[in-house]
Copies of this chain bind each other. A is one copy, B any other.
Amino acid sequence: MAADGNITKDMIYEAVAPDDFESMLDLDRYNNRSTAFDKIISATHDHFWDPLDKKYIDFDEPFDMENQMLLPEEMIISLGTDYVSNHLSDPKTRIRFANQQALRSFSSILHGEQGALNLSASLCHVLLDQGAQEYAANQTREEARHVTAFAKYIKARWGRPVECGPILKTLLTDIIHSPEVYKKIIGMQMLVEGLAMGAFATFFNNINDPLGKKLMQLVMTDEAFHHKFGKIWADRTIPKLSPEEHAIIEDWAAHCFQTLLFNLVSPSQQRDLYEEFGLDPDRVIAEMAAMVTDETRRENMREQTNIFRVLVKTLLNAGIITDRTRGFYAVYVDLDELKGEGDRMVGDDIAEEGIAYLQEINFKDRALKAVKIAAE
């Protein structure tokens, strides 16, 4: 293990302390810049989009939140229990419940994007390779537009987000402040971004709101590249790890996975929602536990777009999962089947279609505008 705890196996991921600006001025650093990230840096112009510009996305597009569910009912697990289903028999109440449940997910995504922005900015302070640093700067910029976009979507549909769950908040704070690069890259680029790709693909395929669907696709055009940065790290790091280092990384990945799983699917995080609708939270949780067996979980995960399936596949393909944690993930997914599927990810097609759409907006039918830089 590297003395500083970064577990650096390739110089392109070499890191310094967050307050060590002096190392950034090292003369050989500039010429030693790696080219590993050049393609994903240059690609940013192709998939440029701007949540402030209606040419790309118009947050004024209406949706009848009172009479329509944003997500199909089968995606709201608690509505599958007899108790909740019977209690929320009035169609409008049912819709309001489902949409309020969706707000939980979208708020988590918004807070996650905010975390990704700060995490990427923190990478700019520690990544020594100038190419890696430029990539991180680029990701910072892209995460900032995601924060803007999700904030605008939540404002348009619900008015205001809900609090970030304490578990997700702790994880985000931990990886932002951690000086260890492996924690940042596994935690954010592989796990949070992997989860995001899965979630966005699921929402893209299921959401009833065309505005939400478009938002998913636009965000995915960026996220696909962010996730790839993590993949490049894994390809160049995992095969060179000692058994002790592998154990550290594998444990950290499992810790992050469990945190994210708990944050997103644990009904205990939604007690206030159940109470708001006059439900007894303990009863909802008990009925859901009875309904959600290991078998149903696995069945759900078999669905291509299942949120966590993408995540487990990322970790499996990266070689992070060994027999030590295989049983932990196998509760949710058939690992052999997943391994046989190859590298391609569920969100890739959606992102590629999105980039084609953006190329049309970005590079066609655009007249030159007059430029004005002088003081306002």
Contact = CB atoms under 8 A, between A and B. Distances in A.
Contact of A373 (B121, B138, B172, B228): B228
A143 interface: yes
Nearest to A145: B134
Interface stretch (A249-257, A275-283, A289-297, A357-365): A357-365
Interface string A96-107: 000000000000
Interface in A26-75: 27-28, 30-31, 33, 38, 41-42, 45-46, 48, 50, 52-53
A30 B343 contact: no
Interface in A140-161: 140-141, 143-145, 147-148, 151, 154-155, 160-161
B375 A355 contact: no
Contacts of A228: 373, 375-376
B30 A161 contact: yes
Tell me if A's interface is mostly helix, strand, loop or mixed: helix
Interface string A204-227: 000000000000000000001100
Interface residues of A, number: 84
Nearest to A134: B144
Contacts of A372: 352
A304 to B, nearest CB: 15
A370 B124 CA distance: 30
A164 B125 contact: no
Contacts of A111: 25
Contact of A125 (B24, B121, B375): B121
7 contacts: A21-B176, A42-B53, A45-B50, A348-B373, A362-B362, A362-B363, A363-B367
Interface of A: 19, 21-22, 24-25, 27-28, 30-31, 33, 38, 41-42, 45-46, 48, 50, 52-53, 110-111, 114-115, 117-118, 121-122, 124-125, 130-131, 133-134, 137-138, 140-141, 143-145, 147-148, 151, 154-155, 160-164, 169, 172-173, 176-177, 224-225, 228, 231-232, 235, 317, 343-345, 348, 351-352, 355-356, 359-360, 362-363, 366-369, 371-376
Given A134-B147, A348-B374, 7 more contacts: A21-B176, A27-B161, A343-B374, A345-B374, A352-B371, A360-B368, A362-B363
